[in-house]
Amino acid sequence: MKDWGYKISTPRVIDLDIAYTAGYAKLVEEVPSAKKCIMCGACTATCTASNLTDFSFRVCHILFRRGQVANLSVELDKCMLCGKCNIVCPQGVNTRAIISSMRIILSDMNNRNNPL
């Protein structure tokens, strides 16, 4: 197919029957500053892991908020917790705490769904 330099996005739907929205409620409880995020992407721009992989904290945060958690735990493993995002964040969001909390919440969810 001809490369036009842009493409039409594939249509996406958030299936609310599958979406794990309880996770975000738990996250906000653990890390209240998550609500202050304005999704500006400064974190991703400075990210050590994004420099090496396609990891994006901003995308992970959005997906988790929407409850679209499939494959998210694999994605989150790319973070090295180096803390640059914490420093550049204009809103003072505790980004590393969000990553760690998301990891633990997702791991709890997986353990519940697949005991043993």
Partner 1 sequence: MNFHPLVIPFLAGTVFLLIVISLKYINWIRRLDANQSASIKKNILTFKTVQAISEIFHESLLHRKIYKKNTLLGYMHMSLAFGWFLMIVVGKIESSFYYGTFLDKPWLGIFFKYFARTPHHYFMIIPFSFIMDLLLLVTLSGVMLAILKRIRSTFLGLKKTTNHILLDRIALTSLWWIFPLRLLAESATAELTGNGSFLTGTVGHLLSVLSVDQLELPLWWAYSICIGIFFIAMPFSRYMHIPTEIVLIFLRKWGAQAGEEPSGFTDIQLNTCSRCGLCIDACQLNFAAEINHIQPVYFIRDTRYHHLSKDVADNCLLCGRCVEACPVGLELTVIRQQVRQKSEIHDNNYFDYNGAPEKTKKADIVYFAGCMSQLTPTILVSMKRIFEEAGVSYWFMDEEKGLCCGRPLRQQGYLQQSKDLVNKNTQLIHSSGAKLLVTSCPICYHSFKNEYSLTIPVMHHSDYIEMLMKETKLNLIQSDIEMVYHDPCELGRGSGVYDQPRHVLQSIGNLTAVEFEKEESLCCGGSLSNMVIDSESRQKIRDNTLKVLTKSRPDVLVTACPLCKKTFAQNNKIKIMDIAEIVAANIKNKIKTS
Q: Is the Cα torsion angle 95, 101, 102, 104 positive or negative in sign?
A: positive
Residue 92 interacts with partner 1 (CB under 8 A): yes or no: yes
Piece of the chain touching partner 1 by CB under 8 A; list 2-10, 11-19, 20-28, 93-101: 93-101
CB 27 within 8 A of CB 105: yes
Rounded least distance, CB 21 to partner 1, Å? 21
Rounded least distance, CB 55 to partner 1, Å? 8
Q: What is the distance between the terminal CA atoms of the chain, rounded to a whole angstrom?
A: 46
Residue 56 interacts with partner 1 (CB under 8 A): yes or no: no
